């Protein structure tokens, strides 16, 4: 198994991409520590895993709480992989109409949350001379997305933070990469739409993808797994776009 003997700390593990990654990593032998502000959600994820897994309630905006959770993981299991996956989005809004509270929330979760995760894990990774960080960015962080200005801002920040931390941590044996998914079939793009409304919207959006469909959570989880595994041992500072060909169409 590709992650046998390794421990992975995964944020946003209560649903969507984080849940898919937690299940995929566990299936490959990892001990999974799932964290989410939605404690019931992450507990459900852990219950779905056939293997060693535990749940933490965590708001990634709280840097001290993040450090405490990572320190506890190191003490209990060790730490080999950090997946900074927690993120939020805002409704499509013209940039000049986006309110300050929404902007601050998006920045705090999507950008500062990733910063907090890296800052919590890096001392341990540097001490042991190894470790892999995978950050969830977005296609919006590479090409931008109209009316999603704050979301694009923060995901672009994740892409560049990934490069900066990779350059800094590489001499210590630590790899740092990012995945940039296109639209995937999770609760984030669906929002509060009904089944019929979502099916219609998803069908329309899929027409823009050369592979003819939106992403599935497992598509992105597979990319995360690759970057976290020893198969990517000479890859760092990279951004892996997982978008069904959208960006080349």
Q: Which residues contact 220 (CB under 8 A, 6 or more apart)?
A: 17, 20, 21, 136, 179, 181, 184, 242
Q: Is 90 exceeded by the pLDDT of residue 194?
A: no
Q: What CA–CA distance (Å, rounded) separates 66 from 55?
A: 13
Residue pair 184/220 in contact (Cβ under 8 Å)? The answer is yes
Separation CA 21–CA 190 (nearest Å): 19
* Active site amino acids: 151
| pLDDT of 7 strictly over 90 | yes
Of 179, 84, 78, 86, give the one whose Cα is nearest residue 130. Answer: 78
CATH class of the domain comprising 7-240: alpha beta
Residue 140 confidence (pLDDT):
94
Residues of the chain with pLDDT > 70: what percent? 100
* 232 pLDDT higher than 80: yes
d(CA 58, CA 91): 24
CB 98 within 8 A of CB 62: no
Q: Is residue 211 packed enough to be buried (19+ CB in 10 Å), middle (13-18) or exposed (0-12)?
A: middle
Contact indicator for 29, 2 with CB cutoff of 8 Å: yes
CB atoms within 10 A of CB 205: 15
Task: Name the pLDDT band for 144 (thresholds 50, 70, 90).
Answer: confident
Q: Which residues contact 141 (CB under 8 A, 6 or more apart)?
A: 152, 154, 155, 156, 157, 158, 159, 180
Question: Do residues 248 and 215 touch, judged by C-beta distance below 8 A?
Answer: no
Query: What's the rounded Cα separation, in Å, for the pair 52 and 217?
Result: 21
Q: Does residue 100 have a pLDDT over 90?
A: yes
Q: Where are the domains of the chain?
A: 7-240
Please determine, for residue 187, whether its predicted confidence score (pLDDT) is greater than 80.
no
pLDDT-derived band at 11 (thresholds 50, 70, 90) equals very high
Contact, 179 vs 240, CB < 8 A? Answer: yes
* Residue matched to tokens 């852990």: 46
């Amino acid at each position: 198994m590709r992650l046998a003997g390794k421990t992975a700390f995964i944020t946003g593990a209560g649903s969507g991409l984080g849940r898919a990654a937690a299940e995929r990593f566990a299936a490959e032998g990892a001990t999974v520590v799932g964290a989410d502000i939605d404690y019931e959600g992450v507990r459900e994820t852990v219950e779905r895993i056939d293997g060693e897994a535990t749940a933490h309630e965590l708001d990634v905006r709280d840097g001290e709480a993040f450090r405490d959770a990572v320190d506890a993981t190191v003490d209990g299991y060790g730490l080999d992989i950090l997946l900074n996956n927690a993120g939020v989005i805002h409704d499509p809004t013209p940039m000049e109409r986006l309110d300050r509270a929404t902007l601050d929330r998006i920045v705090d979760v999507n950008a500062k949350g990733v910063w907090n995760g890296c800052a919590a894990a890096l001392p341990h990774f540097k001490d042991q001379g190894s470790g892999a960080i995978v950050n969830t960015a977005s296609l919006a962080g590479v090409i931008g997305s109209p009316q999603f200005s704050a979301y694009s801002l923060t995901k672009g920040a994740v892409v560049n933070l990934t490069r900066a931390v990779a350059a800094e941590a590489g001499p210590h044996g630590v790899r740092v990469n990012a995945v940039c998914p296109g639209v995937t079939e999770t609760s984030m793009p669906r929002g509060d739409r009904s089944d019929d409304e979502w099916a219609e919207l998803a069908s329309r959006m899929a027409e823009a993808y050369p592979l003819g469909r939106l992403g599935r959570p497992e598509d992105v989880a597979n990319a995360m797994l690759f970057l976290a595994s020893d198969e990517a041992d000479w890859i760092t500072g990279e951004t892996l776009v997982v978008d069904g060909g959208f960006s080349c169409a």
